[in-house]
Structure 1
Amino acid sequence: MTARPNILFVTVDQWPASLAGYEGHPTILTPTLDQLARVGVRYPRTYSECPICIPARRTMMTGTTAKQHGDRSFDPALRMPDLPTLPALLHEAGYQTTAVGKLHVYPPRDRIGFDEVHLAEEGRPHLGGPDDHDIYIADQGFPGRGFDHGMNNNDYLWRPWHLPEHCHVTNWTTWRMCREIKRRDPTRPGFWHLSYTAPHPPLIPLNAYLDIYRDADAPPPPMGAWAQEETAQPYALRAVRDYWAHVKPHHYRQIMQAFMALCTHIDHQLRLVIGTLREEGLLDETVILFTADHGDMLGAHGLWAKRLYYEDSARVPTLLVGPAGDARTPPGSVDKRLVGLADVMPTLLDFAGVESPAHVEGLSMVGQARREVFLGACREDANATRMATDGRHKLLWYPCGNVMQLFDLQEDPRELHDRSADPELDGVRARLEAALVEGAWGADLDWIRDGRLVGMPAREFRGGVNRGLSGQRGHHYPPPPIMDASVVVGTPG
Structure 2
Amino acid sequence: MARAKNVLFIMFDQLRRDYLSCYGHPHLKTPHIDRLAAKGVRFDRAYIQAPICGASRMSTYTGRYVNSHGAGWNNIPLRVGEPTMGDHLRKAGMSCWLVGKTHMAADTEGMERLGLSRGTTIGDRVAECGFDVWERDDGMRPEGPDGLYDPNGAQAYNAYLRAKGYGGDNPWHDHANSAIDAEGNVLSGWFMENSPRPANIAEEDSETPYMMRRGMEFMEQAEGPWCCHLSLIKPHWPYIAPEPYAGMYGPADFLPVNRTQAEFDAAHPVLKAAMTNPVSLTFARTEVREAVLGAYMGLVKQIDDQIGVLLDWLERTGRMADTMIVLTSDHGDFLGDHWLGEKSFFFDASTRVPLIVYDPSPEADATRGTVSDALVEQIDVVPTFYAVAGGDPEEIGHIAEGHSLLPILHGERTEQPRQIAICEYDYSATPLRGRLGVSVEDARCFMAASKRWKLMHFEGGFRPMLFDLENDPEEQHDLGDSPEHAGIREEMYGHLHAWFRRCDQRITKSRRDLAAISAKIGRRGVATGIYAESEADPERVVKYRGRKAQPWQDIVKNQSTT
Out of 312, 319, 331, the residue aligned to residue 368 of structure 2 is 331
Out of 273, 293, 302, the residue aligned to residue 238 of structure 1 is 273
Number of the residue aligned with 1:366: 406
> How big is the shift at 1:227?
1.9
**35-44 or 208-217, which moves further after superposition?**
208-217
Name the aligned partner's letter for residue 103 of structure 2. Answer: H
> How big is the shift at 1:290?
0.8
Deviations 1:214-269 (A, max 9, x none): 46421211115652317x54235423432222331133223111111111111110
Larger RCO (alpha carbons 8 Å, 6+ apart)? 1
- 2:452, 2:352 → 1: CA distance? 13
Contact residue 151 and residue 204 of structure 1 kept, 8 A: no
Number of the residue aligned with 1:490: none
- 1:67, 1:36 → 2: CA distance? 33
Out of 346, 352, 366, the residue aligned to residue 315 of structure 1 is 352
1:256 paired to 2:280: no
Residue identity over aligned pairs, in percent, reads 28
> How big is the shift at 1:106?
2.1
Cα pair distance change 1:112/1:384, threshold 3 Å: closer
Number of the residue aligned with 1:87: 86
Cα pair distance change 1:170/1:371, threshold 3 Å: same
Deviations 1:345-393 (A, max 9, x none): 1111122222342211111123354200122210154363321111111
Cα pair distance change 1:157/1:395, threshold 3 Å: farther
1:412 paired to 2:472: yes
Number of the residue aligned with 2:162: 138
- 1:135, 1:275 → 2: CA distance? 28
Name the aligned partner's letter for residue 316 of structure 1. Answer: V
Matches within 5 A, 1:191-340: 191-214=227-250, 216-224=252-260, 226-229=262-265, 232-244=267-279, 245-247=281-283, 248-327=285-364, 330-340=367-377
SS in 2 for 1:433: helix
TM-score when scaled to structure 2? 0.72
SS in 2 for 1:412: coil
Number of the residue aligned with 1:115: 132
Contact residue 4 and residue 361 of structure 2 kept, 8 A: no
1:24 paired to 2:60: no
- 1:80, 1:177 → 2: CA distance? 28
Contact residue 2 and residue 361 of structure 2 kept, 8 A: no
- 2:245, 2:344 → 1: CA distance? 28
- 2:212, 2:366 → 1: CA distance? 25
Deviations 1:40-79 (A, max 9, x none): 11111111111110011111111001122112233x1514
Cα pair distance change 1:153/1:330, threshold 3 Å: farther
**167-176 or 94-103, which moves further after superposition?**
94-103
TM-score when scaled to structure 1? 0.82
**112-121 or 189-198, which moves further after superposition?**
112-121
> How big is the shift at 1:97?
3.0
- 1:343, 1:251 → 2: CA distance? 36
> How big is the shift at 1:156?
8.2
Deviations 1:140-182 (A, max 9, x none): 2335221122546797861322122232111111111111121
Number of the residue aligned with 2:548: none
SS in 2 for 1:316: strand
SS in 2 for 1:208: coil
Deviations 1:179-224 (A, max 9, x none): 1121222xx2231111110111011211201232146421211115
> How big is the shift at 1:89?
2.6
Number of the residue aligned with 2:425: 378
Cα pair distance change 1:62/1:153, threshold 3 Å: farther
> How big is the shift at 1:122?
2.1
Name the aligned partner's letter for residue 50 of structure 1. Answer: A
- 1:361, 1:328 → 2: CA distance? 27
Number of the residue aligned with 2:522: none
Number of the residue aligned with 1:163: 201
**31-40 or 111-120, which moves further after superposition?**
111-120
Q: Which structure's CA Rg is the greater one?
A: 2
- Unmatched segments (≥5 aa) in structure 1: 442-493
- 1:398, 1:43 → 2: CA distance? 28
- 1:398, 1:225 → 2: CA distance? 23
Number of the residue aligned with 1:342: 379
SS in 2 for 1:33: helix
Contact residue 347 and residue 363 of structure 1 kept, 8 A: yes
- 1:30, 1:354 → 2: CA distance? 34
Contact residue 153 and residue 200 of structure 1 kept, 8 A: no
Contact residue 4 and residue 351 of structure 1 kept, 8 A: yes
- 1:422, 1:236 → 2: CA distance? 17
- Unmatched segments (≥5 aa) in structure 2: 107-117, 119-123, 142-147, 179-186, 408-412, 434-442, 502-562
Contact residue 334 and residue 350 of structure 2 kept, 8 A: yes
**404-413 or 168-177, which moves further after superposition?**
404-413
Contact residue 337 and residue 370 of structure 1 kept, 8 A: no
Name the aligned partner's letter for residue 396 of structure 1. Answer: M
Name the aligned partner's letter for residue 366 of structure 1. Answer: L
